[in-house]
Structure 1
Amino acid sequence: MKKKTLPAFPPGAPRLIYLFLLLFLITAGANAQTVTGKVLDNENKPVDGATITVKGTSKVTSTNASGSFTINAGTNDILVVTYVGFATLEVPVSGRNNIAVSLFKGDGSDLNEVIVTALGVRKASKKLGYSTTSVSPDELVKNRTANLGESLEGRVAGLNITPPAAGAGASNQIRIRGQVGFAGADNSPLLVINGLPIDQGARFAEGRDQPRDRGDNLANINPDDIESMTVLKGAAAAAIYGSRAARGAIIITTKSGQKNQGIGVDFTSSYTTSQALNFMDEIVQTEYGQGQGGNKFTTAAQIQGNGQFGWGAKLDGEPAINYDGVTRPYSAYPHQLFDFLQTGTNLTNTLGLSGGGPNGSFRASISTTNSKGIVPSNEYKRRIFNVGINQTIAEKLKLLLNINYADEDYINPPQIGTQGDGAVNFFNRMPISTPIEAYREHAKDPATGAEWKTSGFQGTVNNPYFALQNGQTYKEDRNRLLGTATLRYDIKDWLYIQGRFNYDRGDNFAEWNTLNGTGANTIIATSTPTITYRGSYNLNHTTTTDINADFLLGTSNQFGKFSVEASFGGNTLRSEWKNIVQTSTNFTVPDLYSYRNGTVKGVNDGFNYSQQRVNSLYGTAEIGYNNLLYISGTGRNDWFSILDPSKNSKFYSSVSGSFVFSELLKNQQWLSYGKLRASWAQVGSVALVNPYDGALIYALGANLFNGQTTASINGTAAPNPYLQPFTVTEKEIGLETRLFKNKLLLDIAVFDKVTTDQIIDVNLSGASGYLTSKQNAASLKNSGLETLVELKAVQKKDFSWTTSWNNAWLKTKVLDAGNPSGTILLLYFNGTGNEFLGEIRYTEGLAMNQLYTKTYKRNDKGEILVSGAGATIGRPLASTTNPPGITPGFQPVGSSIPKFTGGWNNNFTYKNLSVGIHIDYKFGGTVLSSTLLNMTRQGLSKMSLQGRENGYVFPGIDEVTGTANTNVITVANNGLQNFWTDYRNNQIGDPFTFKSDFIKLRNISLAYNFSNLIKKVDVLKFVKGLSLSASCRNVAILYKDLPGLDPEAIQSSGDIRAGYENSSLPTTRNYNLTLNVKF
């Protein structure tokens, strides 16, 4: 059979084809042109790094530091101009070769504003069916703080930031829409840095067992390196992160330079001073001195036995004996704590090098921080190295590379929130009639070599000068490497595939000692059979490694009036934790603090290890119609290695939608933009499931049986192989509107969030061989309302004023405590360092983090009952109620979680000058003050002055006679001392329970941009930019309820101790000066 062939081209056809191609090229060449332009913001300042895309093509460029760009485009093309935090603009070329573009600022509610969302995907705000807030990097830099999280305080509705007073480099408590888990669980949001998910990792102080705060992972991020920050508030916003999304997320993208900008250098130097705020004058009494029963002590021995009491005589300036046997004037020496404290300082220098060509860009920076806290010897040092690279390797292949390395030194973080060591604990609990010079000059007893005994509370109240002068140290070296490498290949204009590898390695080495003779009468620990010496040496070395690898296949396309976006991906996470603990005491050689020198080793010494893996598949889909309606959905399935193989799979999903109703009302001049949004999502957390909770573990014992080592079950917690992640289900609706040509913004969100299958420890019968077992049992609820109102009040050529007001109302409730009593005890404060005053519980029907303490016993009329007989006659009685599961006499007095938070922010600009004023507030929380309780029972507070001269009659009803109390309590025979000591012994908290409410003038900032001025100076033309800013933080407290302290002076960024104040370090007022220069 003859083989068929395709017909040959007719004669002359090749020439016609060549001619057609030539004409096409000529036409294309005629239509293509080089377009230059400049992008400015609404203040006529250059926008550095705006992205310029020729619509419908892969042609893209970006602006340089002066806002200029160059791109090849056809005469009829459309340029799409985008920049994070600004509204997107589409600009027709229309034959022009020079184009000026003006952008206006967005805040998440502009129609086309670009928002960085989960997985690092950039989306137009109008498409989002959930609540997000973008934070301007300029605000973070202008209102610079030692910890990045503190800069966010009061600026985002629903984001609650509490910076504890805990020394240089301390962490922050960060909560988004309340707590999803019990206090003690990890309730801080997920941090996603350049696509790498990490936990906040706050290493907060928690009383006796952990009295020092050692920072968090936000300290690894230099604000000068940040390109964008987005707060994902609701579960739907973060749902694609599945089992890590329960607490919300903060998305941070760091800088990687800009294309076509050439080589640039920027240098920033920031100096901050910190002064302790003194509110103690509100509660410290300065009329009576050291002593008891209204009398001075007459011997040093009396003081060394009871010198903690200020129930002495009236201060008269006459000579009086002190603890060291020296006679000094019996006068008031107030402010001893603040005489001990120093001015804190922080110097941060950042040097950045950036550059970019037509195919890519880079930025590298190095930052150093040297900080000294207000407590002498407390230091924090940090070195951060950051690299960002954005490179087009081939026409459709792009590489994104980010490396962040942080090296931190925590030196002597102050001990807070407990008894024992700590300057606050000492000076707040010693009478003011001994000058600070005595404690400083006579800290060590020359007769014993131990700490000089200053009171009968030695070991509970220790002189800080002894530790300071004799080399007591705590040092922690922390190294963290974060690395992200992303390859993206654009298969088509509408289809791409992406692969990403994330590496997170941390290494913490902590070493500390307790001095020989601290809080002791002797330096000898044992004398037989050999002499050993007091003190302790401690070492803790922890290494963590997280390896994340993921892929994503995505598509985005337009079909007439319909738009479609979809993606499918997967992730694998491997986590490894290693820990070495060493402790030794009873030293052979005195004052040599090393592990080998100690003769007694710690019972928990050894090596600890765990490893876990999570594998995931996920997908997203979005359909839009005519810029009017958008519906999105996500789904993710996680498989956990730490769960039983038969039940290790968990599916999470979300649905959200947005209705841009302003598209239907384009003829309404008053409405610039309007959107309704709604979402539903279900996410979870395995934060309370440890790698081996489901395993039955045996430990080798010391006994032998038939010559063989025996083994027995290790621990008292029964394994539970059926543990599951707890689940968070959240519903949200919201409204966003911009009115009157974008002058007025209104954003409202209402949410309802329920946590089920909460993981708790359930008590078991001892007959089972165990005492507790982790179970999925309890449920919690958070619901609330968030509002944001922003007004561009004045917009003139040279002057503008923008004011914004954000608020959040939060209601929490325990739905199910998971046990028959309906209540769970989280912490009994009297069992954590002899601190007194109450406990924290979760009780069904009440708010979360409920504080309990004994209250006054009252009759049916509500009148306080007083003892009518015996040694306690005339003293108030404690409540004796005994509800099921509650400690007898204890009553709920309020939750530590504030119900209402907000902030009012004002920004003024006049030409190149900008001024910022920020006020924030919190209401509805409760705090118990153990500081005031201890000062009062020791006769050191103004509250204890009642009856010093003429006796005190407590206003109450005699329990025996039913008549008004007439019993007089005097200072003689320790009457008043015993009266107030009963408050401690009986745990009566009424006089020491306060609201943690406050209104603060948080920040005032002033900044001036000299860039336009220096351009006029020929010798400075090499300088591209110059700005100087100054700010004051914690300017003033306009209102508070808690006496003697800043309500934010809590000792922990955790949840358990948030409502309990004890020996808290003062907060500080910070003054900052920052210089930025660009070359």
Structure 2
Amino acid sequence: MKKLTTGLLVLVLTSSLAVANAQQKKDTIKTKEIEGVVVTALGIKREKRSLGYSTTEVKGDQVANAPVANVTDALAGQVAGLNITQSGTMGGSANMVIRGTKSLVGNNQALVVVDGTPINNDTFNQTDIASGVGAYDYSNGMADINPNDIESVNVLKGAAASALYGSRGMNGVIMITTKKGKKSRKVGVEFNSSTTLGFVDKSTLPKYQKEYGGGYSGDSFYPGSIDINGDGVPDHVVYTYDDASFGTRFDPKLMVYNWDSQYPQLPGYLKPTPFVAGKDPNSIWGTATTFQNSVAFSAGNEKGKYRLGYTNFLQDGSLDNSTIKKNTIDFSADYNFTEKLNVFGNISYVNTKGKGRVLTGYDSRNPMQSFRQWWNMSVDMDKQRQAYNLTGQNMTWNIQDWSDQSMGYTDNYFFNRYQNYQTDNRNRYYGNFGLNYKITDWLSTMVRYTFDTFDELREERVAKGSSSEQGRLPHGGKGEYYFLNHKVSESNYDVMLNVNKDFGSDFNLTGTLGWNLRTISSGSGFTGAWMNSGDIENKGVEARLTVVPIKNTNFKWEMTANWSKNKNTVTRISGDSQFLQLAKMWNVTTGAQLGESTGTIRGYDFVYLNGERVVGADGKYLQGDNPTAIIGDAVPKWRGGLLNTITYKNFSLSFLIDVKKGGDVYSRDMAYGLSSGLYEETAGLNDLGNPIRNSLADGGGVILPGVKADGTPNDIRADFTDSANPYGYTGGSGGTEAPEKMHVYDGSFVKLRNVTISYRLPKETFGNSFIESMTLSLIGRNLWIIHKNTPYTDPEAGMSAGNAMGFQNGAHPAFREIGASVKVEF
């Protein structure tokens, strides 16, 4: 007869009020998991088959194999039901959502617990990010966890998994267990070192047209007669105020006076140059470097054990004047004072210093806002760099007028990087200490105190001589300084009574009775609140399967596949509203639509006839009358991953394929970039073999696929001579010459996420030396976007870790990382 195991009800008493912005009505998941031993919400190891909820474990080696600045990034593609989104900036934030969005306006991130200590994983960002307005991304709490210190990560799903943490655990729990000391005859030493190089993925950068210069309506030059060289003949002086590229066709035989010819301090002063395209902005991206070194000492015996570790992390970003420095010290220990009394504790200290982080969203100090949306192709970025290096001043190409060298609205990019930079310094302490007391053989108690506190200093600068952007910082060329110093602290007390009693060979009783006192973060400004703005229903299916197709003495091939599908539906919104807006970008909104998902994208759609887009008399697509038509859904249809691990003797190869299906993205970058004449699509030849920017009389323009109002195929040629082209943005009542639906893209992708090749040197290599083992590895991360539908960008590139999704606005490119590591144990 099988043993009967009964779990007692866990009683939780709390002193704080739960903040609930929306309730999860259903969580219906069918799950098949591989059997094994996991760490539960109580920090206790139990067999999976004895649990009433789904868990997935990721080993520490899989987390540390490809060094990352944020541990969240290492989990991408490895856990069924876990959806991760990133901002794409250096040291940026990452969002973790398990089994769909559960709160309309509250936090949807999974609760992070490190060795029983709940960690504040809120973003450290500015609130403007959520609406697409420019702001710095200061990362979030997971970035403060040391990947080299992780023994395992268990993702606990469903309400039962997180019952101990109350409303904080409603989004699931990321349970991190750190490495501990072990019994040994001597002090063990472990050393890890890795170096990676990051190269921009060119498929996520714009492809610029190089045929036409800056300006509008086919004209790149100042009107009137400007005689620069004094020969009595008017010269061609490049107009320096327009940030679009619908100007004159480039001609290397035509000598012109460009922006640098107007500054006496520069070598090009009063010198004409050929009228050709300048070095485009893609040249600003250099090679990023990441160095990570760690050392750990551990020892133990029958009475107790300890582990002390130190990690140094240094990342030099791809952009000028950008670095992140991080130093981490970890200590853990436990000691058996008697056979019944055990005391334990661990503490981590993390200091993070950032410099030159870049903004996200629509802001002139986010370089990609200009370089993806509004840019003058006559500008040479190498000359902009030279101008700053020679003078240290804001020698911008964007001059008001030939007779007035005062700046317009755009700074010299390199002046921004070296003068208008930010710095941040964060100190964080977290950990716990407590005791276990064995009352009887079957009854024990645990008392534990946990804490998590950090203080942060931020400084943001706007140097004297910077341009003044209308509606933003009112520095007006006089400079400005922003300072923020804040501290957040949280502490928790736990008392648990554990029962494990055998009543004979066929009956066993196991249970836990717990009491805890948990504080609400002082950074929230509240002690409690009640609110319910709607109901959300999540229905889904998850699967995880491990197969070993080949295994013998020297060779093993193991494949682990995971797949998840979640249907997210808003079933109720409070009041009479049918839509709860979460973010807005001009005329486009995303949010919770009654009967649809929490990632519904709304804006102007096309006019359709029998499923075909209808074209008007001017050859351009007609726009519907509804400004809140549903034009996309940012929630993915399903996600999956495939991890392959192949070992042959002392060699091993592992690689991870990450797949996402669906999840629409509205790209403001494409809407503006096509309007301003930046991209390849705005130049070239049409079906007649003529330049599309020629006038219609000269055979220019394009014929769009679709039908006319009478249902016949479209044969009307649309004008393409200026920003009012059939693809771009004009700022009219609908916001675009083409409806916003034109710039909604399918966010599906297939990625080669991680590759690691390792060789473990044979033990006999070291003989009787103090080295016990050594492993050498070649590592790669984000090596290949095998498939995507979003042009010139990474489908995962967002603005921040938050509820706002489905927007790309000044998106940063992805990076391929290649490097090497060594692990030595003494």
The TM-score, its normalising length taken from structure 2, stands at 0.85
What residue number does 1:466 align with? 415
Matched-pair contact (CA < 8 Å) for 2:655–2:754? yes
CA distance, structure 2, for counterparts of residue 1048 and residue 492 of structure 1: 54
What residue number does 1:129 align with? 52
Work out which of the residue numbers 206, 213, 218 in structure 2 matches 1:289.
213
What residue number does 2:761 align with? 1010
Asked if residue 215 in structure 1 is aligned to residue 215 in structure 2, the reply is no
Report the secondary structure of 1:243's partner residue.
helix
Asked if residue 1026 in structure 1 is aligned to residue 774 in structure 2, the reply is yes
What residue number does 2:655 align with? 917
Work out which of the residue numbers 804, 807, 818 in structure 2 matches 1:1071.
818
| Cα distance change, pair 517–552 in 1 and its aligned pair in 2 (3 A) | same
What residue number does 2:264 align with? none
Aligned pairs (5 A) from 1:215-294: 215-279=139-203, 283-294=207-218
Work out which of the residue numbers 62, 66, 70 in structure 2 matches 1:143.
66
Matched-pair contact (CA < 8 Å) for 1:450–1:520? no
CA distance, structure 1, for counterparts of residue 677 and residue 121 of structure 2: 42
CA distance, structure 2, for counterparts of residue 208 and residue 857 of structure 1: 28
CA distance, structure 2, for counterparts of residue 785 and residue 366 of structure 1: 41
Structure label with greater radius of gyration: 1
Shift of 1:517: 2.6
Matched-pair contact (CA < 8 Å) for 2:394–2:465? yes
Deviations 1:277-302 (A, max 9, x none): 11267743222222332343257986
Work out which of the residue numbers 804, 807, 816 in structure 2 matches 1:1060.
807
What residue number does 1:499 align with? 447
Shift of 1:162: 2.4
What residue number does 1:306 align with? 242
Report the secondary structure of 1:402's partner residue.
strand
| Cα distance change, pair 966–138 in 1 and its aligned pair in 2 (3 A) | closer
CA distance, structure 2, for counterparts of residue 411 and residue 448 of structure 1: 20
Equivalent AA in structure 2 for residue 388 of structure 1: S
CA distance, structure 2, for counterparts of residue 777 and residue 388 of structure 1: 43
| Cα distance change, pair 411–317 in 1 and its aligned pair in 2 (3 A) | farther
CA distance, structure 1, for counterparts of residue 424 and residue 307 of structure 2: 30
What residue number does 1:754 align with? none
Deviations 1:189-232 (A, max 9, x none): 10111111123223354466552211221222212212222110
Asked if residue 841 in structure 1 is aligned to residue 591 in structure 2, the reply is yes
Asked if residue 1000 in structure 1 is aligned to residue 756 in structure 2, the reply is no
Matched-pair contact (CA < 8 Å) for 1:937–1:984? no
Report the secondary structure of 1:934's partner residue.
helix
CA distance, structure 2, for counterparts of residue 1038 and residue 532 of structure 1: 46
Equivalent AA in structure 1 for residue 124 of structure 2: R
Deviations 1:825-863 (A, max 9, x none): 222211xxxxxx511131111122101121123456744
Work out which of the residue numbers 563, 568, 572 in structure 1 matches 2:513.
568
Asked if residue 824 in structure 1 is aligned to residue 580 in structure 2, the reply is yes
| Cα distance change, pair 297–966 in 1 and its aligned pair in 2 (3 A) | farther
Shift of 1:146: 2.4
What residue number does 1:592 align with? none
Matched-pair contact (CA < 8 Å) for 1:939–1:977? no
Work out which of the residue numbers 181, 184, 189 in structure 1 matches 2:103.
181
Matched-pair contact (CA < 8 Å) for 1:481–1:504? yes
CA distance, structure 2, for counterparts of residue 315 and residue 796 of structure 1: 68
Report the secondary structure of 1:534's partner residue.
coil
| Cα distance change, pair 333–115 in 1 and its aligned pair in 2 (3 A) | same
Asked if residue 431 in structure 1 is aligned to residue 376 in structure 2, the reply is yes
Q: How many residues align?
A: 748
Matched-pair contact (CA < 8 Å) for 2:291–2:313? yes
CA distance, structure 1, for counterparts of residue 296 and residue 395 of structure 2: 51
Asked if residue 191 in structure 1 is aligned to residue 112 in structure 2, the reply is yes
| Cα distance change, pair 576–197 in 1 and its aligned pair in 2 (3 A) | closer
What residue number does 2:622 align with? 877
CA distance, structure 1, for counterparts of residue 815 and residue 281 of structure 2: 14
CA distance, structure 2, for counterparts of residue 992 and residue 153 of structure 1: 27
Aligned pairs (5 A) from 1:467-616: 467-469=416-418, 471-520=419-468, 534-560=478-504, 561-575=506-520, 577=522, 610=525, 612=527
CA distance, structure 1, for counterparts of residue 190 and residue 469 of structure 2: 58
What residue number does 2:232 align with? none
Equivalent AA in structure 2 for residue 944 of structure 1: T
Give unpaired runs (5+ residues) of structure 2: 1-31, 224-235, 262-267, 687-691
What residue number does 1:442 align with? 387
Work out which of the residue numbers 779, 786, 793 in structure 2 matches 1:1045.
793
Report the secondary structure of 1:306's partner residue.
coil
Work out which of the residue numbers 598, 601, 616 in structure 2 matches 1:851.
601
Shift of 1:443: 5.4
Aligned pairs (5 A) from 1:323-362: 323-325=259-261, 327-333=272-278, 336-362=280-306
| Cα distance change, pair 780–261 in 1 and its aligned pair in 2 (3 A) | farther
| Cα distance change, pair 465–484 in 1 and its aligned pair in 2 (3 A) | same
Deviates more, 1:400-409 or 1:195-204: 195-204
Aligned pairs (5 A) from 1:910-949: 910-945=648-683, 947-949=692-694
What residue number does 2:29 align with? none
What residue number does 1:682 align with? none
What residue number does 2:27 align with? none
CA distance, structure 2, for counterparts of residue 359 and residue 378 of structure 1: 48
Equivalent AA in structure 2 for residue 1042 of structure 1: T
What residue number does 1:814 align with? 570
Work out which of the residue numbers 302, 324, 329 in structure 2 matches 1:380.
324
CA distance, structure 2, for counterparts of residue 210 and residue 433 of structure 1: 26
CA distance, structure 2, for counterparts of residue 447 and residue 395 of structure 1: 70
CA distance, structure 1, for counterparts of residue 48 and residue 759 of structure 2: 31
Matched-pair contact (CA < 8 Å) for 1:486–1:500? yes
Asked if residue 1035 in structure 1 is aligned to residue 783 in structure 2, the reply is yes
CA distance, structure 2, for counterparts of residue 352 and residue 492 of structure 1: 36
| Cα distance change, pair 320–965 in 1 and its aligned pair in 2 (3 A) | farther
Equivalent AA in structure 1 for residue 240 of structure 2: Q
Report the secondary structure of 2:560's partner residue.
strand
| Cα distance change, pair 261–220 in 1 and its aligned pair in 2 (3 A) | farther
Deviates more, 1:977-986 or 1:776-785: 977-986
Matched-pair contact (CA < 8 Å) for 1:114–1:125? yes
What residue number does 1:55 align with? none
Matched-pair contact (CA < 8 Å) for 2:357–2:421? no
What residue number does 1:597 align with? none
CA distance, structure 2, for counterparts of residue 474 and residue 859 of structure 1: 52
Aligned pairs (5 A) from 1:452-463: 453=398, 461-463=410-412
Shift of 1:312: 2.6
Report the secondary structure of 1:931's partner residue.
helix
Give unpaired runs (5+ residues) of structure 1: 1-106, 579-608, 613-641, 643-688, 690-722, 724-758, 760-775, 831-836, 882-888
What residue number does 1:118 align with? 41
CA distance, structure 2, for counterparts of residue 108 and residue 840 of structure 1: 35
Shift of 1:938: 0.6
CA distance, structure 2, for counterparts of residue 844 and residue 986 of structure 1: 24
Shift of 1:893: 1.7
Aligned pairs (5 A) from 1:638-653: 642=528
The CA RMSD over aligned residues, in Å, is 2.9
Matched-pair contact (CA < 8 Å) for 2:751–2:782? yes
Equivalent AA in structure 2 for residue 810 of structure 1: N
Shift of 1:897: 1.5
Matched-pair contact (CA < 8 Å) for 2:749–2:789? yes
Deviations 1:445-495 (A, max 9, x none): 9999675525899876543212134x2221111111012002001111211
Matched-pair contact (CA < 8 Å) for 2:701–2:719? yes
CA distance, structure 1, for counterparts of residue 613 and residue 519 of structure 2: 61
What residue number does 2:34 align with? 109
Shift of 1:425: 2.1
Matched-pair contact (CA < 8 Å) for 1:159–1:177? yes
